[in-house]
Chains A and B, each alone.
Chain A
């Protein structure tokens, strides 16, 4: 219940929300957890394995129990920690991992079966029979296991990713972090202060302490206010730094709008930050550790620090009769705070002997422990064990403290191992674990406020020195410097299950059993018991579990070691990491200048790399793509077709050494190419396999224009830059991608010249512009380039104009082609046309083909070296048993061919060992009247005429095929020259 006059919530702003459909009231500044406790509602979740009723354990992001689902439908979000979720008007919260309801969870039967569900249960049980896995074990496990559930629909929320840069990143906004940020900011450094909480101040907001003569929270608010006025400071509340990466990179998750109902257009729910910081200060505080005793997971049992936080920060008494149990002075502080707030303290149970507690008007039991707890859905009493025996006391809340574990997780993300510090019985960061990171305050084992403030100053001074800046002199604010005085207590011996890992339901006896079964190393114990493998990654349980393991194996904790902390520190939604990558954000779209026209003509677009190209251009009466494709093939073979080929890579190559470069990267010679001519070129990788092919034109004595395939343009550019920078930096040659500068169209077919001559200012003929010529032309007042090259095997040209004229030229060319009874053709027709000519694409040169495989070994010039030449001469790459490119046509009853099918000798069994080759490309040839295909077949060139079995195991298609030459149309090549 709420305590009058206490807490930092805004009493003037009531806020209502629902939990499992029931309305609850709180105030602005409340979390779901604080508001539920204020309403006397303890039960907030069910445990993972045994479905035990659970309430909050903590008041922070480490919360293992109170996981809830927020939102509805596709915007719902599972596994939200009730301790982190701020309430807002209309917030809908649902419990999870319970069926049919949180109050009555039928899966709680698991709790009764617990003797069978201990450590290693899965490994021992679900072994055999093997077929049970699919039909019995897996469905059962899937139903019972898991925490919250995803909606099953596409995520309705927006997320974003962003970069930030700073001199100094301060992680944590408690006393150490605030002080460090203040010192660094006053010295002029560019500072980012990231705090996980909505309200900066850390424990200063949760403790009843004074700093510099003011209440701690007021001092913190004053520092935050000063920082907020400074241009060199970026305050990032609600931001958890989740990972540390090499070179001063950090990841952080900002909960931008998780606390608001109304978010506005395009507003992100969360932002995933990548922060580059020259220096960093870790001031992440510490996490209080529970004590393991029987039934220590009952709702109402929480850490002492959480009890003080609910009391001081939120003005909420977590119980009417609160017992306090601990092994350090924080237990006393908790009891005093409760008493001062008028909450009845049932007893202080201190495991230490002989400690004094003056002025306490409540029972203080020394040398005593809590050894059991009663009350299933709500704590009713605790059993206390003293030297004199055991007795029960009534309590609806138990505040427990087993001491504090420094939050050193981020110091381990680059492989650092923490150091055991015997004075505080905890691990602390090992100095230097993260280059450029300074560690300050509780995360370094300094637990008093005074100590944290001083450590913040020292860390800032060290960071400033590394940044080459000087701190301004500053007096350290007066603050509490209370001692800690801890005597270790990890678990209370006794019968019954004592929880270590609340989230994964791992108990003391599970760890002991692991040790008994010889899983003695920390990593083995973790995997065998699953301790530390839940979303909280063992934040609440690691050290205690190690202590139990150490005890069970007769070793010290330092010797037992720790498991590894990895990013992220707290869970990060995949949606946040992949922000912007959904839908059109997945990759840039490259659109040609004819894109709009193609869409207007009804063309379905296909992706080619990042480009979008028209598949075919349907016409009214056509019922399927094949009809359109056949017609478009006919345009090129009979009249004239127009196709946008702008997506081919175009690289402008200039400089005195251009020819040397081309002679090195192409297998054939380009230094001998005459100006005004084009030559087909083949490019190898250094290992002797084909990289790419294309044409290259010589525009001037020292000026070439290379084209690449659409898909390999980037790879070829990188390769050319490699050759010029890494192999021959002495060459004077410059490469410029001009793919985007020019819109390029193929004009192909017997009437192609007729079409062009209707447009060019200077008409051409076969003498002035023979096959493989190129030159500058003009049309429509615009300078153009014309290339007489042919991918279709017909009399054809490619014409280019600056991209601004691309759309206009495409429209014009299509209109002229249509007037000649031709028209536009798309990728489907382009593919059939090249197949009929046996021209290769990357379906053939897939990285495994040699020049010899594709029948182009003669293109590897004997007269010069080239990239890949030496390696292409390896015997294995010259082996006649290699697959050689051949054509295929169906000769049996089945007329369909498929790409990727295997080829076998007639009568041979269709097994892997018998495969003689495979098909690479197929298509229906209107000219031939059947499907045709290209394939690689062992010794294929000697097997023309042989009939083989084509078997496509995947699509279950088998056909008889005849091996033939890979050129189906105009094998002499006369048409292109005509």
Chain B
């Protein structure tokens, strides 16, 4: 598997650290309530199809990335800098 880092270009997946669902970008407010926090930390879909995950190019430039990929075909559709995605969420 290869991931196209927006900074470094196409790289072997060995250079990347996998964290999990990109929902981690949307940290709830402290008083958002148990359900919201539960959903943020624990409740995950397991789609046959598109997912958005957080990876870090730890063995490269160090950037955190949002990778959109397909769990069925394994195609990687998009790789974005997490900082850009987070800024756009604001």
Contact = CB atoms under 8 A, between A and B. Distances in A.
Is there a direct interface between A and B, measured as CB atoms under 8 Å apart in the complex? yes
Contacts of B58: 718
Interface stretch (A172-180, A246-254, A674-682, A891-899): A246-254
Interface string B1-44: 11100000010100001010000110110101010010001000
Contact of B37 (A274, A730, A870): A870
Contacts of B81: 725
A586 to B, nearest CB: 16
B2 A871 contact: no
Contacts of A865: 30
A729 B17 contact: no
Contact of A276 (B12, B27, B62): B12
Interface string A713-729: 00000100110011101
B1 A729 contact: no
Given A245-B1, A249-B2, A718-B56, A686 B25 contact: no
3 closest cross-chain pairs (CB), A and B: A247-B2, A729-B83, A246-B1
Interface of A: 163, 245-249, 274, 276, 414, 435, 686-687, 718, 721-722, 725-727, 729-730, 865, 869-871, 874
Given A247-B1, A718-B56, A726-B54, A414 B74 contact: yes
Given A248-B2, A718-B17, A726 B37 contact: no
A247 B58 CA distance: 20
A414 B58 CA distance: 27
A163 B27 CA distance: 39
Contacts of B25: 726-727
B63 A686 contact: no
A163 B90 CA distance: 41
Contacts of A414: 74
15 contacts: A246-B2, A246-B74, A274-B12, A276-B10, A718-B58, A721-B56, A726-B54, A726-B64, A726-B86, A727-B27, A729-B82, A729-B83, A730-B87, A869-B30, A871-B41
B37 A871 contact: yes
A714 to B, nearest CB: 8
B8 to A, nearest CB: 14
A727 B85 CA distance: 10
Q: Which residue, of A163, A718, A721, A726, has the highest number of chain B Cβ atoms within 10 A? A: A726
A272 to B, nearest CB: 14
Q: Which residue, of A246, A721, A725, has the highest number of chain B Cβ atoms within 10 A? A: A725
B9 to A, nearest CB: 12
Given A247-B1, A249-B2, A725 B82 contact: yes
Interface string B48-90: 0000001010100011100000000011100001111011001
B47 to A, nearest CB: 17
B64 A721 contact: yes
A874 B38 CA distance: 11
A122 B29 CA distance: 60
A729 B87 contact: yes
Q: Which residue, of A248, A276, A729, A869, has the highest number of chain B Cβ atoms within 10 A? A: A729
A247 B76 contact: yes
Given A718-B56, A721-B64, A722-B19, A276 B86 contact: no
Contacts of A274: 12
B43 to A, nearest CB: 13
A249 B82 CA distance: 26
Contacts of A435: 75
Contacts of A249: 1-2, 12
A687 B41 CA distance: 7
B62 A721 contact: yes
A722 B30 contact: no
Contacts of A246: 1-2, 74
Contacts of B62: 721
A448 B76 CA distance: 39
A666 to B, nearest CB: 16
B42 to A, nearest CB: 8
Contacts of B3: 247
A413 to B, nearest CB: 12
